[in-house]
Amino acid sequence: MRILVDRVRCQNHGQCAISAPTNFELDADGELRYRESFDDEDASDIEDAVDSCPVQAITLDSDG
Amino acid sequence: MTQQLAVPHLDISSERFRMNSREMRRARADHWYARTDWGIAVLTYEDCKLLLKNPHLTQGSAKWPAHHGVVDGLYDRWWRKTLLVLEGDEHNRIRRLVNPAFSPRRIEPLRPRFRALADSLVDEWVDDGRTEFAGRFAAPYSTRVLCMMLGIDEHDWEEVYQLSSTIGLGIGITIKENIARIDDAVAELTRYAESLVAARRRSPRDDILSALVGARDEDDGRLSDQELINLIILLVFAGIDTTRNQLVLTVASFSEQPDQWEKLAADPDRYAAKAAEEALRVNPIARWVSREAGETFRYRERTIEKGTTIHLLTLSSGTDPAEYDDPDRIDLDADRSPHLAFGGGMHHCLGHFVARADIDVAVSALSTRLTDLRVGEDAEWLPDSGNTGANTLPITFTRRP
C-alpha cells in the first residue's frame, strides 16, 4: 500500500502530520511533505491520517 | 506605482456593526486588512487563507477569561486546558486521539437517525404554515444530534441545551458578571460527563463517546480521565449553539434565494452538501476566527508585532470577488474554492464533519417539505460578534403537497 495525496484538494491544514508524523510533515513554508511508503507498524496512524483530513485528500492505493 | 491607500478602520466592537455591509466591502476593496479596536481584521480570501495556517500565529484565546478578570474557578481551569486553546505537543497528542472519533467513517452511519429526527421535528409544525424556527427546530435538532453522538438520553436535551448556553456565556464580554452561574454549569457537566464515561466503560456502545473512552483506556496515560472529561464539556459547549445558529443562518439565506431553495428541493441528494457549504460561505456563524502573533514577523508590507490579535473575517473572505464569481449569491451549481468558516490549520474545527452532515440532512428534510420560505420582520438577530445567529427566527412557509 502507498499513500496518495490529491494536491488539488489539499489545503495544508496539517492534521495528517498530527496523526502520522512518521509520514507527513509541514515544511517551513507550511507546505505538506510526505512519504508514500509506510511500515505495517504505522498503518493505524496512517488510517487515522486518512480519516482526519478535513478535505479528505488522502487515499491509500494498493501498489501491487 | 499605485498609491497605497490608508488602512481603513472597522468598528467591529460595536453592536451595530454588520459584516455584511457596504462598509466592509469598501474596506476589502481598498486593502487586505482593516484596523479595529481589537487588533487587525484580515479581509481578503488569499490573506485569510495564508494567515490561518501561518506558523507564527497561535490560537490565542487561552487568556480570554484573565483579560476579563476571571483568574480562577472551574470554568477558568477547564478553559485553559481545552483543546481549543492548547498549543504544540500537548494539543497534538490530544487532537491525534480524538480526530478519528469525528471522522466521516463515524458520522456517516448516523445520517438516517439525523434524518428521522429532522422529519419528526418538522411534523410538529408543518401544518401550521408558520413556526419559530430557532426554538422549534434548530435548538432541539442540534442538541439532540449531540446527545445521539455522546449517547445522552435525548429526553434530557433541554437541560443539556441550558448547560451549553450557560457555558457559552464564558466567551461573551459579560463573563465576569455571569461567572458563578458558568462555574456551576461546568460542575454539573463534569458530574454528568463522569457518569457517562463510567457507563461506557462498563458497557461500550458504537458511539463517539465509547470511541473516546476506548482511546483513553487502550493505552493508559495517552489521554487522562481529566482530559476526557474536559473534552466532553468542550463538545457540549462547542457543538450545540454553533450548529443551532448555522441552521438559522442557512434558512435565512435560502429564504432570500427561493430559486436555489427550489433547486435544492428538486434534488436534495445532489445539492444538500453544496447547500450547506454555500450557506457557510456567505453566512457563517463564526464571523471571525481569531489568532495571536506568537512572535514578531513580517507579512506583506508590514511587521506584525508579537501579541497582536488578528481576526480573520470569514464572511469577508467567503464573499471576496477576487476569489469568487458573483460572490454574494448562493449558487448550487458553481464550483467554489473552499470557504474558511471552520478555521484551518492545526486548530481546524474538530466537529466540522458532524456539522456538515447534520446541516445537509436538515436542509434535505426542510426543503423537501417547505416552500415559499419567509423570515418574519420580528426575528431577533444577535450582534455580529465572533459568533452570530438569532435568538428567535419566526418563519412562514407553504407546505409542499
**Which among B99, B208, B280, B317 is the top mutation candidate for probing chain A, defined by the most A β-carbons within 10 Å of its own β-carbon?**
B99
Identify the pLDDT of residue B6.
Answer: 84
CATH value at residue A34: 3.30.70.20
pLDDT tens-place string over residues B28-45? 999 999 999 889 999 999
How many domains would you assign to chain B? Answer: 1
- CB contact (8 A) between residue B96 and residue A56: no
A27 close contact with B: CB closer than 8 A: no
What is the rounded distance in angstroms from the CA atom of residue B274 to the CA atom of residue B295?
Answer: 38
CA distance B278 to B318: 9
CB contact under 8 A, A12 and B53: yes
Q: What is the mean pLDDT of residues A18-23?
A: 97
Residue B333 domain boundaries:
2-399
Chain A contact set for B348 (CB, 8 A): 13, 15, 54
Tell whether B109 is within 8 A of chain A (Cβ). Answer: no
By CA distance, what is B51's nearest residue in A?
A30
Residue A64 has pLDDT above 60, yes or no: no
Residue B162, by phi and psi: left (phi above 0), alpha (psi -120 to 50) or beta? alpha
Q: Is there a contact between B344 and A13 if contact means CB atoms under 8 Å apart?
A: yes
List, for chain B, all residue ranges whose pLDDT scores fall below the cut of 50.
1-3
How many domains is chain A built from?
1
Can you tell me the distance from the alpha carbon of B332 to that of B310, in angstroms, rounded to the nearest whole number? 32
Q: Residue A18's domain spans which residues?
A: 2-61
Name the maximum alpha-carbon separation found in chain B. Answer: 71
* Number of other residues whose CB lies within 10 A of the CB of residue B275: 25
CATH of residue B316: 1.10.630.10
Tell me, what's the pLDDT at B216?
67
Largest CA distance in chain A: 34
DSSP H or E run through B370: strand B370-375
Partner B contacted by A54 (CB < 8 A): yes
Q: Are B240 and B161 within 8 A, CB to CB?
A: yes
Q: Which residues contact B44 (CB under 8 A, 6 or more apart)?
A: B28, B32, B316, B317, B320, B322, B323
Give the span between the Cα atoms of B101 and B269, in whole angstroms: 25
Q: How far, in Å, are B150, B153, B203, B352 from residue B235 at the CA level?
A: 9, 16, 21, 12
d(CA B175, CA B166): 10
Shortest Cα distance, chain B CAs vs residue A12, angstroms:
7
Instruction: Tell if the CB–CB gap between A30 and B54 is shorter than 8 Å.
Output: yes
Flag whether residue B99 sits within 8 Å of chain A, measured between CB atoms. Answer: yes
pLDDT at B331: 98
β-bridge pairing B302-304 and B288-293: unpaired
Whether residue A13 and residue B54 make contact (CB cut-off 8 A), yes or no, is no
- Is the entire prediction scored with pTM above 0.75? yes
Report which DSSP code applies to A37: B
Residue B2, pLDDT score: 45
- The pLDDT-based confidence of A29 (bands split at 50, 70, 90) is confident
User: What residue in A sits closest to B107 (Cα-Cα)?
Assistant: A51
Distance between CA atoms of residues B154 and B144, nearest Å: 6
Residue B358 per-residue DSSP state? H
Q: Which of B55, B103, B352 sits opposite A30 (nearest CB)?
A: B55
